[in-house]
Amino acid sequence: MTTFEVPTLSTKRLRLRAFRASDLDAYAAMQANPEVMRYMVMGRTSTPAEVWRTMLMSVGSWALRGYG
């Protein structure tokens, strides 16, 4: 198994980092908000299970493709 680390990118106003399991509640709340999601690709809200799957797919994609 390959070990990988997602880099953290920081500016004065923004910090991008890898998902953590503890992000689920906040991310699911954002994805459940119709006003937020109307501007996103799918244009619809997501269930917590869909959000969890998206988080797992993102992390898995980085690992399988050797990003990081």
Q: Locate the domains of the chain by residue range.
A: 20-65
For 39-48, how does the pLDDT look when each residue is reduced to its tens digit (9 = 90+)? 988 889 999 9
User: Is residue 1 pLDDT above 70, yes or no?
Assistant: no
Give the pair of three-digit tokens for residue 2.
């390959």
Give the containing element (helix H, strand E) for 65: helix 48-65
Query: pTM for the whole thing?
Result: 0.78
Share of the chain above pLDDT 70, in %: 94
**Residue 59 zone, left/alpha/beta (φ > 0; ψ -120 to 50; rest):** alpha
pLDDT bin (cut points 50, 70, 90) of residue 4 is: confident
